[in-house]
Amino acid sequence: MILIISDEYDMSTNIVIDWLDYYRMKWLRINDTDKCEMSSSDFGIFLKIKGVLVDIDEIRAVWYRRGFISVGEFKKLQIHQLNSYLLHNKSVLHEYLQYKLSHKKQINSFSKANVNKLIVNDIAREVGLKIPPSFIDSQFPDLKKYKKAITKPITPGFLGDIDGIDIDSYTKILQQDNLKSFSTSLIQEYIEKKFEIRTFYLFGKCWSMAIFSQGDDKTQIDFRRYNNDMPNRTVPFKLPQSIEQMINQLMQKVSLESGSIDLIYSTDNNFYFLEVNPVGQFDMVSYPCNYHLEKEIALNLISDREI
């Protein structure tokens, strides 16, 4: 059986499951909204979800797509200290479950869902990848000490509004007008680029797509500001073997089996690494380039079974 940990709205998960069905492989999907009970005895450890009892020993591989397994019942009480105690119990159960699943074949895990961007940048340099000149600054940086620069969050991005303050994770040009409520951020020198690259990595193999975002003012700084009226042109792209080897070294050093990687190709003909997202969307690469990445994931999960 293949265990899939996801969220209920992820369409890529649905397509991977379609491939598992095609190959007649049993699977169990746990969404972050599902309640899961765990029990153990001398006969083993069992999960109960939606009335189905599953022996962990029956699970042969785990794909952590995203989300969280909610293990155990938690009813919020009036006493704060007791709530903290019960929450800690819940987290211990979750940690134990993750430990038991770590002995299975895995594509990523909950503990790898968020990587430290600063550490990853250091490791990327160590393996030979180019990184834009980078700084960490706080409390209204002096713009005079930078060339043209961009700013981005250090932590995984948040989109939304808190107490009337609009918060987003988009990359921005560092200007005086966006320093009004500046907090500690990652600042990088702005690299003039010919195009951007989104690469999907899985067990040492890379599938890449070039994104021609420079011709549109809306997507020039950050292609995620999609222009639905005039989408960026995207084409399959093959990274040089040397760059793919460096990416493989990086992913092994940060213990990731899979992830979505952002790079740029500069106007002076250099590849620059930007970041890796272990739970990033990959359908945006799969469909335009006809890579069928969902099938690749399914095949990797059942690779020790004859097809």
Least reliable range by pLDDT among 99-103, 152-156, 194-198, 245-249: 152-156
Q: Report pLDDT for 307.
A: 42
Q: What is the pLDDT of residue 178?
A: 52
Mean pLDDT computed over 76-105: 74
* Residues 164-178: tens digit of each pLDDT: 545 555 666 665 555
- Higher confidence at residue 137 or residue 131? 131
Q: Specify the pLDDT at position 206.
A: 97
pLDDT of residue 282: 92
What are the extents of the domains in the chain?
A: 2-112, 117-131+192-278, 134-189
Domain 117-131+192-278 homologous superfamily, CATH: ATP-grasp fold, B domain (3.30.470.20)
pLDDT computed for residue 113 by the predictor = 85
Q: Give the pLDDT band of residue 290 (cuts 50, 70, 90).
A: very high
pLDDT score recorded for residue 121: 93
The predicted model gives 38-42 an average pLDDT of 80
**For domain 2-112, which CATH number applies: 1.10.10, 3.40.50, 3.90.120, 3.60.21?**
3.40.50
Q: Is the pLDDT of residue 93 over 60?
A: yes
- Percentage of residues in the chain having pLDDT higher than 90: 43
Find the mean pLDDT for residues 83-97.
Answer: 74
* pLDDT tens-digit readout, 42-61: 778 888 888 888 898 999 99
Per-residue confidence band for 216, with pLDDT thresholds at 50, 70 and 90: low
The model's pLDDT over 61-89, given as tens digits with 9 standing for 90+, comes to 999 998 888 776 545 555 666 666 666 77
In this model, does residue 97 exceed pLDDT 90? no
**pLDDT averaged over every residue in the chain:** 81
DSSP line for the chain: -EEEEE-TT-HHHHHHHHHHHHTT--EEEEETTSEEEEEEETTEEEEEETTEEEEGGG--EEEE-S---EES-----S-HHHHHHHHHHHHHHHHHHHHHHTTSEEE--GGGSS--HHHHHHHHHHTT-B---EEEE-SS--GGGSSSEEEE-SSSP--EEETTEEE----EE--GGG-TT--SEEEEEPPPEEEEEEEEEETTEEEEEEEE-TT-TTTSS-TTS--SSSPPEEEEE---HHHHHHHHHHHHHTT-SEEEEEEEEETTS-EEEEEEETT---HHHHHHHT--HHHHHHHHHTTTS--
Is residue 186 pLDDT above 70, yes or no?
Answer: yes
**What is the pLDDT at residue 160?**
45
Chain segment 228-254, per-residue pLDDT in tens: 666 667 899 999 999 999 999 999 999
pTM: 0.82
